[in-house]
Amino acid sequence: MAADLFARIVCGVDGSDAGLDAVRQARQLATSGSQLVLVAVSEADLAVHAGMFAGAAGNQLDEEAQTALDQAAPHAGDARTRLMRGRPEQTLIHVAEEEEATLLAVGSHESSRRRGMLLGSVATRMIHDAPCSVLVARVAADAGVFPRRIVVGVDGSDAALEAARVAGELAERVGAEITWLAAVGASDEIDPGELNRSGLELRRAEEHAVPALVAASQEADLLVVASRGMRGIRALGSVSERVAHRAHCSLLLYRPPTP
């Protein structure tokens, strides 16, 4: 299951350190059979605002996007690169669909949740609308070893238990420590029989889901939460959306594959 999650990874790059973090972490999560695609988006359409200098401005935006790809490529092994034109959020979603991505990786530029919602930041849009699982990369304590410690939020949903199993397989593959965490309320939703069959050993928190997971993220470098299938405006206020913006480490938002 974990191998399937990392089978086809699309990674957005923009020339920033955050974008390079996403590339490095995506490659470390990848398996030997993973396909990694780096995507840089030139917002060349904005060049129209430059008036008579629109042509030169458009070329400069294209060059900056290509430079971002050139800088990221050495960190990505034999990844393919794609230079696209358009709005970053819409274009990344389009490429993810076109590539049939199983994981979409982006960097976190550390804007607040409120600002992310108002400005439509790339990470926020991916959390809401990406067609696949999403990695929001934040700087790891040791960039050369990722992930070292994984925390997984578990509740009674099938998606959360599936995410927990996938995270367990990942931890075994990379030699990471892993904690399965159930918050107040979530523990009551978990079927004891299903928990026994899963083989998970839960740590039960004395807080509700969001503060419990945010607190646990301070001692982890990858936090895994599952999406319950909500998209767009329906995702606002969800546990996974709120945790994604407040986590202290990289976050993997797991979306079960569409049948």
Largest distance between two CA atoms of the chain: 69
Number of domains in the chain: 2
227 and 110 both lie in a single domain: no
Residues ≥6 apart with Cβ < 8 Å to 6: 29, 30, 31, 34, 102, 103
Residue 44 CB-half CA count within 13 A: 16
Q: Give the pTM.
A: 0.85
Between CA 28 and CA 30 the distance in angstroms is 5
Closest CA to 154 of 82, 239, 32, 41: 239
**Domain membership of residue 131 as a residue range:** 2-137
132 and 160 both lie in a single domain: no
What CATH number does residue 108 fall under?
Answer: 3.40.50.620
Between CA 119 and CA 144 the distance in angstroms is 32
184 and 77 both lie in a single domain: no
Residue 28: inside a domain: yes
94 and 175 both lie in a single domain: no
Q: 141, exposed or middle or buried, with CB in 10 Å at 0-12, 13-18, 19+?
A: exposed
Per-residue pLDDT of the chain in tens (259 residues, 90 and over written 9): 666 999 999 999 998 888 999 999 999 999 999 999 999 998 866 554 445 445 565 678 888 899 999 999 999 999 999 999 888 899 999 999 999 999 999 998 654 444 333 333 788 889 889 999 999 998 877 767 899 999 999 887 888 888 988 999 999 999 999 998 887 555 555 555 555 555 566 677 767 888 889 999 999 999 999 986 554 444 444 778 888 888 999 999 999 887 6
